[in-house]
Chains A and B, each alone.
Chain A
């Protein structure tokens, strides 16, 4: 028999060490490749207040997070925002360009949704919990970066969802 692996305790120990090292290297490279933007937070802790400004520590978790954006898209449909903005949020402002009248960062978008705007945007802070406003702000922020193919996919995903006070059955 040749020199097999792990014949002595010392070699076993070294073998285990290298296994751990490989596993650690794989795990850290996954992190480095950026699955961060898809991280989901499903625990019970959710924001219950408005963003305090551009340095609010909760911002990074919402700003470019795919999960929060897609939840925001779902609530955008559920709360019937599309009745005025169209489902892809093209009216009355065209949200698909970055020209937000009141600012395209989450704190400003949050304010637009929570407190309403003079030009006919209703205030939602009494009707919608803070976390959902955060998510919808994150969703609206993502719209200028949503190309037409993604847009089409999102529209199809949302097609069967109830919206506002209407629901006529799942799409059949």
Chain B
């Protein structure tokens, strides 16, 4: 299995293009570097030989071979630089080119310190989720990145290079993933206290799986009544203070400041990669968000231990 967050194992067309530029640069610069080292070694060897021949410094006569070598070397440098310029020009063109399979529009919004993702469904409605990006393999997604507060940077290394996330301005990047798997993206521009905990999971899946996932995300949360603890949790979360900041579609909770929790139980991690998803993790996060992620803008809401436990059971049931 390849690493989840490495630009050296491209999983999308865009990252592959950039990887090609890197390879080209590595070859050209590597060869040049070796040649330079060779000449340095030659110079040291010649110096040692000359010193052995005479005690006093010698003035060498002009050597026509050396002058010719210098001219050739200059040509090689110019050729190498030209190859790099041409290579990066074409890579740039190909990254900027419109792709014919562009069907999917996703809005990624950086906030201190998490990611809001909104998908446009085939019906034209926007469906919100957070901190987990799903992409269909072989299709191009157009990601519009924006920010609510400061400059962030959207960076999923196996998929593409960084794209700055600038308040008041939309930047656009295309992603055409090719390899199915889980990857990890992160914020690539220092943005404050919890910059290090501003990651997102990326799931590249088959188009059929993706369509199923998007359809599931678009449905509202099912009302819970079976398990009494889950039912209590539903009351705590959707009618208490949480509802001022969080949306759970299908319930009274309609706050917009925090991540959409409609299908929080289906995500892999909690609070932008701070904790893996688990009931204990959810409970710990609800009781003391600032202890796990100091500086986070989610406040601690005072809940009795049994209510916190019920809330975590309810959230985990939101698949």
Q: Which of B20-28, B30-38, B287-295 faces chain A?
A: B287-295
Contact of B91 with A by CB under 8 A? no
Q: Are A42 and B245 in touch, CB under 8 angstroms?
A: no
Contact of A92 with B by CB under 8 A? no
Q: Are A171 and B167 in touch, CB under 8 angstroms?
A: yes
Q: Are B170 and A172 in touch, CB under 8 angstroms?
A: yes
A160 CA to B147 CA, complexed, in Å: 7
From residue 275 to 318 of chain B, which have CB atoms closer than 8 A to chain A? Answer: 288, 290-291, 294-295, 297, 299-302
Contact for A162 among B148, B193, B299, B300, CB less than 8 A:
B148
Main secondary structure of the interface of B (DSSP, over half): loop
- Closest residue of chain A to B126 (Cβ to Cβ) is A169
Contact of B168 with A by CB under 8 A? yes
Q: Are A43 and B257 in touch, CB under 8 angstroms?
A: no
Q: Are A129 and B302 in touch, CB under 8 angstroms?
A: yes
Contact of A128 with B by CB under 8 A? yes
A127 CA to B299 CA, complexed, in Å: 12
Q: A48: shortest Cβ distance to chain B, in Å? A: 6
Main secondary structure of the interface of A (DSSP, over half): loop
Q: Report B-chain residues with C-beta under 8 Å of the C-beta of A79.
A: 244
From residue 136 to 155 of chain B, which have CB atoms closer than 8 A to chain A? Answer: 144, 146-149
Q: Report B-chain residues with C-beta under 8 Å of the C-beta of A44.
A: 288, 290-291, 294, 300
Q: Report B-chain residues with C-beta under 8 Å of the C-beta of A146.
A: none
Q: Are B299 and A131 in touch, CB under 8 angstroms?
A: yes
A132 CA to B256 CA, complexed, in Å: 17
Given A129-B299, A129-B301, A131-B299, A170 and B288 contact (CB-CB distance below 8 Å): no
- Closest residue of chain A to B108 (Cβ to Cβ) is A170
Q: Are B149 and A157 in touch, CB under 8 angstroms?
A: yes
Q: Are A43 and B244 in touch, CB under 8 angstroms?
A: no
Contact of A26 with B by CB under 8 A? no
Q: Report A-chain residues with C-beta under 8 Å of the C-beta of B149.
A: 157, 160-161
Q: Report A-chain residues with C-beta under 8 Å of the C-beta of B169.
A: 172
Q: Report A-chain residues with C-beta under 8 Å of the C-beta of B168.
A: 159-160, 170-172
- Closest residue of chain A to B193 (Cβ to Cβ) is A42
What residues of chain A have their CB less than 8 Å away from a CB belonging to chain B? 40, 42-44, 46, 48, 71, 74, 78-79, 126-132, 157, 159-167, 169-172
22 A-B pairs with C-beta separation under 8 A: A40-B295, A42-B290, A42-B295, A44-B290, A44-B294, A46-B300, A78-B245, A78-B255, A78-B257, A127-B241, A128-B241, A129-B299, A161-B149, A164-B256, A165-B256, A167-B256, A169-B107, A170-B109, A170-B147, A170-B148, A171-B167, A171-B168
Please give me the 5 A-B residue pairs with the lowest Cβ-Cβ distance, nearest first: A170-B146, A162-B256, A167-B256, A78-B257, A160-B148
